[in-house]
Structure 1
Amino acid sequence: MTKRILCFGDSNTFGWIGSLSGPTRRFPSDVRWTGRLSTLLGSEYEVIEEGLGGRTLRDHFTVGSGVSVPGAGLCGKDYLPACLLSHLPLDAVIIMLGSNDMKSALGRSEHDIAEGMGELADIVLTFPWQELLDYPRPRLLIVSPPYIGERKMALAGERYVDAPRKSRALAALYREVASIKHAYFLDAASCLTDHPSGEAHGPDGMHLDEADHEKLALALAQKLKEMLAR
């Protein structure tokens, strides 16, 4: 039976091509980590993309995220329940969020961000699946995002005050959340090991480039096979 994987994230799940000027574009499906993941896993798996640029864990709108999105907007917490129900049955859910939560306008600490991830984990792992549609609960993989570094700060430092430190603290905090919630964990920064270590290599210093998408897909494919073999 086909295993179904939901990928819930922000612009790095959407496949946003980082740009230093003008409107940007989206990587084609065979370049995005979600598309590469589908190819790596093969026909026994179905990979579902749910990426939205600017998405946060639990805030609706942040300065610099473009136009306001109606409804659940950019709030992952408000959108996730309906998203899960619309894609059942699910064998696994991947959540990679937290970068947009570091924007100065929100005033979120790294501990606030980890708390928000814990709330999303609860939605996935304690949602009343059996009572509604008689499907088992999916397994959850929490992914800490790539680091924010000096290239991003040089371009938009006032929008991301203290973000480099926060981004480097998230992996340990997310790992703890995963342990408490009986979920799985992957550190995306550890997949991007060449210079600058752990940072996305897109020109804006925050978005994944083609090589980053490939590296992340490889790590996620291995992790998912381990998770779903148990």
Structure 2
Amino acid sequence: MPVRSVLCFGDSNTHGQIPGRGPLERYDRPTRWPGVLQAELGSKWYVIEEGLSGRTTVHDDPIEGAHKNGRTYLRPCIQSHTVLDLVIIMLGTNDLKVRFNKPASEVAMGMGCLIYDIRELAPGPGGSVPEIMIVAPPPMLDDIKEWKSIFAGGPEKSRQLALEFEIMADSLGVHFFNAGAVCQCDEADGFHLNADAHRTLGIALAQEIEAIGWSVAEHQR
């Protein structure tokens, strides 16, 4: 049976940045949720990690750089890793920075743009549209330490993301998962996942993927 491929496209919580540490300090592959996902799914799946600290849905970052724009990078990323059976996107937290001044509803619209781009590229088997899953990141904690000014108003908006993402997923007919239902951010900085949260999330997403219901006929290359 052919090996299926899943692209995990996200920000620092996909990259595995350790809470309270810098962007260069990350958990090892087996600890990060995509690594946990690989272990849970086994050899019948190939899990591709694409996490970047500071990545947004559709915004060039005027401070950290235009390369933080998830939409700009998604297209070459998908074409690089085609063929893909599933694309998981977990973004949105960085869109809540004051410099972007966006409500949760517009962050969801940015997510919708990424879905449209994936469908246009059709990187699935035989030029089909792959399965797509939007994952709402866990809400930020109220105490986000020294990040308070950068994410002013962010914690409240972050609690609205899951609902807005679910509405967007329903309207576009893609899968949705609320990471906040199974894990939470670490108190060290208030918006990154610790090792336990990565493990819990990876296991939960493996169950969600298995529940999609895959058939051999849909996977002919």
What's the TM-score once normalised by structure 1's chain length? 0.87
Alignment CA distance shift 1:62-1:217 (3 Å): farther
In structure 2, what is the Cα distance between the partners aligned to 1:173 and 1:74?
22
Q: Who is 1:31 aligned against?
A: 31
Residue 89 of structure 2 aligns to a residue whose secondary structure is strand
CA shift at 1:129, angstroms?
A: 4.6
CA shift at 1:23, angstroms?
A: 6.6
Provide the aligned C-alpha RMSD in A. Answer: 1.8
Residue of 161, 167, 181 corresponding to 2:172: 181
Q: Who is 1:147 aligned against?
A: 139
Alignment CA distance shift 1:27-1:112 (3 Å): same
Instruction: Confirm whether residue 167 of structure 1 aligns to residue 161 of structure 2.
Output: no
Task: Specify the code of the residue in structure 2 equivalent to 1:151.
Answer: D
Residue 68 of structure 2 aligns to a residue whose secondary structure is coil
Alignment CA distance shift 1:128-1:210 (3 Å): closer
Q: Which string of whole-angstrom CA distances, capped at 9 and with x for unpartnered residues, describes residues 162-185 of structure 1?
A: 111111111111011111111000
The answer to whether the 8 A contact 1:31-1:214 is kept is yes
Instruction: Confirm whether residue 93 of structure 1 aligns to residue 87 of structure 2.
Output: yes
Instruction: Confirm whether residue 61 of structure 1 aligns to residue 46 of structure 2.
Output: no
In structure 1, what is the Cα distance between the partners aligned to 2:180 and 2:200?
10
Residue 29 of structure 1 aligns to a residue whose secondary structure is coil
Task: Specify the code of the residue in structure 1 equivalent to 2:79.
Answer: L
* Runs of 4+ deviating beyond 6 Å: none
Q: Who is 2:219 aligned against?
A: none
Q: Who is 2:98 aligned against?
A: 104
Alignment CA distance shift 1:136-1:128 (3 Å): closer
Residue 165 of structure 2 aligns to a residue whose secondary structure is helix
Instruction: Confirm whether residue 3 of structure 1 aligns to residue 7 of structure 2.
Output: no
CA shift at 1:125, angstroms?
A: 2.2
Q: Which string of whole-angstrom CA distances, capped at 9 and with x for unpartnered residues, describes residues 78-115 of structure 1?
A: 11111111101100000000000000011111111011
In structure 2, what is the Cα distance between the partners aligned to 1:78 and 1:91?
21
CA shift at 1:126, angstroms?
A: 3.0
Task: Specify the code of the residue in structure 1 equivalent to 2:132.
Answer: L
Q: Who is 1:227 aligned against?
A: 212
In structure 2, what is the Cα distance between the partners aligned to 1:75 and 1:125?
19
In structure 1, what is the Cα distance between the partners aligned to 2:122 and 2:43?
29
Task: Please list every run of 5 or more consecutive structure 2 residues that lacks an aligned counterpart in the other structure.
Answer: 216-221
Q: Who is 1:213 aligned against?
A: 198
Q: What is the count of residue pairs matched by the alignment?
A: 214
Identity, in percent, stands at: 36
In structure 2, what is the Cα distance between the partners aligned to 1:48 and 1:79?
15
Alignment CA distance shift 1:109-1:135 (3 Å): same
CA shift at 1:36, angstroms?
A: 0.6
Alignment CA distance shift 1:190-1:62 (3 Å): farther
What's the TM-score once normalised by structure 2's chain length? 0.91
Alignment CA distance shift 1:205-1:229 (3 Å): same
Q: Who is 2:72 aligned against?
A: 78
